Every structure is written in C-alpha cells, then in structure tokens.
C-alpha cells in the first residue's frame, strides 16, 4: 500500500476494509482507485467491492488467497494490442477465465488549479493514446506507473502547471480540476478485460461462448499448420491467435488463442484433439459467455 501516493493510500485502505467485510463480493484489480480497471469493475458488477492492488500479481494473489472472489484484468487494447506479461501471468496464476468485459477508454486532463499546463503525468500507454493532443498543446508527457496513481501524485504534490491524464473518476476521487475530457486521439479506444476466479464455471448457453487456451506446437515442419487444421475442418471459428516466446529462448514459440465454442461441443472436441496431437502441450484457461460479437 505504501507504493501509492498518500491520497490514494487512504482510499485503498478504505476499499480494502470494505472488501474484507464481504470477500464474496470483492473483485480485485491492478491500479490506484480511479483507474480504468476500477471503472471496469464498477461497470461490470454494480454490487462489487472493488479491491485495488498495486501489481497484476497482487490482484491475482488476492483471488488465490480468498481475499477476493474474482479478479478483473486487462488483456488487450484495441490500439496497443496485448497487455504485457498477461500471457505468462494467466497460466501461472492457476485461475480460470469465467467472463470477459469491454470498456471504452476515455481520458481527462486534470490538475490542482487553472494554471497553464506544462507537463502531463500518466501511464505510458495513456500518454501514447493522447500523444497528438499533448503535442498540439505543447504539454510535455511524463511516464508513471498508473493513470489514477498519477492523478493522486499530482494532488499530493500540489504543483501548478503539472497535470495528470486519467479517467474522470480519478479527478472526483482526488479533488482535481478537469481541464478537458475525451482527449484520447482515437474515439474507438477499447480495452478487453477478463474476469478470473479460483474455479472454472460453466457459461450459460443463451448466446455465443468463447474458450481461451495456450499451446506450444512440436518443433517439426508445418507443425502450426497441422495443429490448427482441425479448427478449419471442423468449422470452429478462431477469433484470436498470438505468438509469444518465454524467457530467452528463440526456439520454443507458444501461442494464445480464442475460439468460439467450448469443450463438450463435438466440433470443438475434435479440433482440440487434433491440436493436442500436434502440440507439446495444450492448456485451457476457461470458457465464458461472449460479451461482444466477433462477427464482421
């Protein structure tokens, strides 16, 4: 908790106490109060007790240790792609994906007063998403660990001319003046979150269902082509496929994938069986209700 600026520490303490009183309602997230992940929790579950955590690992640990029922973790952004390290943290957590949520990203420029702004403090991705706005106004970007944490630090420092870029909720929580809203360069900026729990859950079948998994193909010619062939021949729609490498190795490529459907569907079972035959290992991360259509 001491890693947060002082104004955020007070809110974190209050929110942690509220979550401890009803852990079955607690949803952990990474960031200071007022962050986009905090907004996602509030939008996703109106009765949730949001539990702020300084790191992604802390948010996942809160679920493993029973201090929160679920964790809400950003996994990809429409402008900047996947969130760093998520492909490693998700399988290592031992948690299951039980849902997904999409949050439109809206940023505001905020400071302590009406003085002309010289600099803007925020997370590097937020600065990148607002870079045209800042350049047009001659405001110098300064990177910080967290958007809402930047707002708390600006409130704590009390320095005229220093601003933060964060969700408008952060200005409300830390008593800052909003100079401008919706300053992001792209109006279709969207972040996809996954909801994780200690145990997997069977999703309702009142709409399309997604399944997320990881795999590593065998190191033989055309291994990936053969491994994925079962999804094509069985008519299973793969909506996402990303490669990544673990550690310093350049020989063992692992893959993250999303498909429509779930184990128990005959076509999915056949496709996964063929995938397993051509892979060193396959790890299912969870099946869940599709929150947003992937259809064109």
Average pLDDT over residues 135-144: 97
pLDDT of residue 246: 73
pLDDT band at 248 (very low <50, low <70, confident <90, very high): low
pLDDT of residue 84: 65
Task: Answer yes or no: is pLDDT of 101 > 60.
Answer: yes
DSSP 276: H
CATH code linked to domain 209-289: 3.30.70.260
191 catalytically annotated? yes
pLDDT band at 216 (very low <50, low <70, confident <90, very high): very high
Tens-place pLDDT, residues 24-61: 999 999 999 999 999 999 999 999 999 999 999 999 99
Sign of CA dihedral 164, 170, 172, 175: negative
Average pLDDT over residues 209-214: 96
Proportion of the chain above pLDDT 90, given as a percent:
79
Spell out the domain ranges in the chain. 6-104+189-197, 108-181, 209-289
DSSP 256: E
231 catalytically annotated? no
Opening angle at CA 211, ends 267 and 266, nearest 5: 15
Same fold, 108-181 and 209-289: no
**H helices within the chain, ranges in order?**
6-21, 36-44, 56-64, 86-93, 124-129, 131-136, 147-157, 168-174, 223-233, 266-277
29, 193, 213, 215: the catalytic one is 193
CATH code linked to domain 108-181: 3.40.190.10
Which residue in 180, 16, 214, 173 sits closest to 109, CA to CA?
Answer: 180
Opening angle at CA 93, ends 67 and 227, nearest 5: 150
Better-predicted residue by pLDDT, 3 or 154: 154
Average pLDDT over residues 175-193: 94
CB 214 within 8 A of CB 285: yes
Task: Answer yes or no: is pLDDT of 168 > 80.
Answer: yes
pLDDT band at 83 (very low <50, low <70, confident <90, very high): confident
To the question of domain 6-104+189-197 being in CATH 3.40.190.10, the answer is: yes
Residues in a beta bridge with 214: 256, 283
* pTM for the structure as a whole: 0.91
Q: Measured between alpha carbons, how far is 195 from 251 in angstroms, rounded to an integer? A: 32
Mean pLDDT, the chain, integer: 93
147, 191, 211, 212: the catalytic one is 191
pLDDT of residue 37: 96
**Please, how many CA atoms are within 13 Å of residue 18, restricted to the half-sphere of its CB?**
16
Task: Answer yes or no: is pLDDT of 1 > 60.
Answer: no
Average pLDDT over residues 90-105: 93
């Amino acid at each position: 908790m001491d890693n947060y600026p002082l104004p955020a520490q007070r809110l974190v303490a209050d929110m942690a106490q509220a979550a401890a009183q009803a852990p079955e309602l607690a949803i952990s997230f990474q960031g200071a109060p007022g962050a986009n992940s905090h907004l996602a929790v509030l939008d996703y579950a109106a009765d949730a007790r949001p539990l702020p955590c300084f790191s992604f690992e802390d948010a996942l640990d809160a679920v493993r240790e029973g201090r929160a029922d679920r964790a809400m973790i950003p996994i990809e952004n429409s402008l900047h792609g996947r969130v760093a390290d998520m492909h490693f943290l998700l399988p290592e957590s031992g948690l299951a994906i039980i849902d997904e949520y999409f949050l439109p990203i809206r940023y505001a420029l905020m400071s302590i007063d009406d003085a002309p702004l010289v600099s803007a403090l925020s997370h590097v991705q937020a600065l990148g998403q607002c870079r045209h706005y800042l350049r047009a106004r001659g405001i110098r970007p300064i990177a910080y660990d967290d958007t809402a944490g930047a707002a708390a630090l600006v409130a704590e420092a009390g320095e005229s001319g220093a601003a933060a870029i964060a969700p408008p909720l952060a200005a409300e929580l830390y008593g800052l003046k909003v100079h401008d809203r919706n300053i992001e360069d792209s109006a279709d900026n969207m972040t996809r979150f996954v909801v994780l729990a200690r145990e997997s859950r069977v999703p309702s079948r009142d709409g399309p269902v997604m399944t997320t998994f990881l795999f590593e193909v065998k190191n033989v010619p055309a291994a990936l082509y053969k491994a994925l062939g079962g999804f094509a021949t069985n008519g299973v729609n793969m909506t996402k496929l990303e490669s990544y490498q673990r550690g310093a190795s350049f020989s063992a490529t692992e893959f993250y994938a999303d498909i429509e459907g779930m184990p128990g569907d005959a076509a999915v079972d056949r496709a996964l069986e063929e995938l397993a035959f051509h892979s060193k290992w396959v790890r299912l991360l969870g099946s869940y209700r599709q929150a947003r259509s992937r259809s064109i």
